[in-house]
A and B are shown apart, each in its own frame.
Chain A
């Protein structure tokens, strides 16, 4: 799941949500949010401290 792109994860989320497979849909959504947060953290980490 980690190798998938963000968009493909969202697609999978919609796919599982539409067939009422909420547990798997939740997992995909969680990964999407985590990816977005990681992106922001990495962006903030790149800024120099001094």
Chain B
């Protein structure tokens, strides 16, 4: 501090050092006071700031809460709408599918029954049953049931039954007679036919033909007569051939023997040749 600024009275009392000391003490005091004031100010500001931050936090919290509530509510409403829409869609499509499935199963069963049990068979069975019922009812109406049959009707039915039995028996008898007559006629006809065919034929051939074809029908005889005759001829020819060969082997007159004149009147009788002659 400039000493000249001091009053005249103090200039004489205070020295330069004293002034400097006072000045230093004042400076120190001022620094302390400022520091204290700053500290107080800091504390005050801190408190105020904390209050302010608290207030702002509270405000923000309440605002955020409102915002969250509003967003939640909005989203919930939207979700509810979405759920409802999907539920409706699902129910609609599921219902449609259910209806379609039920109809399809019904149609399939109809087709299966059509194939397995045709309508024609059902109608036939129904007609049969209806006819049986109608007949039964008619019986009841006309009183011709076996238990309720009246005596007159019963007698008539019994008489009719007897007549039918009698006629059936007669018919059987006539049938038997007719069969016998037919057989006899066929035999006679065959015999006559065979007789006509064998007229003028050698006795042995005739016997053979009668033996083979005697019990056959006229038609069979007509068809097989020529064949049987030819068969007989063939057999006889073979027999004749064998006999000839045997006769040639057993002959008494040889080819190189002297010729003996034999007159026509004195012919030697050979039994083989006789037999051959007879068979011709």
Q: Which residues of A contact B105 (CB under 8 A)?
A: 10, 13-14
Among B106-114, B194-202, B271-279, the stretch in contact with A: B106-114
Q: Are A49 and B134 in contact (CB under 8 A)?
A: yes
List the A residue with the shortest CB-CB distance to B113: A36
Q: Does A40 contact B (CB under 8 A)?
A: yes
Q: Are B109 and A32 in contact (CB under 8 A)?
A: yes
Q: Are A45 and B130 in contact (CB under 8 A)?
A: yes
List the A residue with the shortest CB-CB distance to B117: A37
- Nearest-CB distance from A34 to chain B (Å)? 10
Q: Does A4 contact B (CB under 8 A)?
A: no
What is the CA–CA distance of A40 and B130 in the complex, to the nearest angstrom?
A: 15
Q: Which residues of B contact A41 (CB under 8 A)?
A: 122, 126
Secondary structure call for the B interface = helix
What is the CA–CA distance of A37 and B122 in the complex, to the nearest angstrom?
A: 9
- Nearest-CB distance from A24 to chain B (Å)? 16
Q: Are B123 and A47 in contact (CB under 8 A)?
A: yes
Q: Which residues of A contact B126 (CB under 8 A)?
A: 41, 44-45, 47
Q: Are B131 and A49 in contact (CB under 8 A)?
A: yes
Secondary structure call for the A interface = helix
Given that A37-B117, A45-B130, A49-B127 are contacting pairs, would A14 and B122 also be in contact in the complex, using a CB cutoff of 8 Å? no
List the B residue with the shortest CB-CB distance to A47: B123
What is the CA–CA distance of A14 and B98 in the complex, to the nearest angstrom?
A: 9
Q: Are B117 and A7 in contact (CB under 8 A)?
A: no
- Nearest-CB distance from B115 to chain A (Å)? 13
- Nearest-CB distance from B122 to chain A (Å)? 5
What is the CA–CA distance of A10 and B99 in the complex, to the nearest angstrom?
A: 10
Q: Does B46 contact A (CB under 8 A)?
A: no
- Nearest-CB distance from B250 to chain A (Å)? 97
Q: Which residues of A contact B127 (CB under 8 A)?
A: 44, 49
Q: Which residues of A contact B101 (CB under 8 A)?
A: 14
What is the CA–CA distance of A37 and B105 in the complex, to the nearest angstrom?
A: 15
Q: Mark A residues whose CB is within 8 Å of B.
A: 6-7, 10-11, 13-14, 32-33, 36-37, 40-41, 44-45, 47, 49
List, sorted by A's number, 8 A–B pairs whose CB atoms are closer than 8 Å.
A13-B105, A33-B113, A37-B117, A40-B122, A44-B122, A44-B127, A47-B126, A49-B131
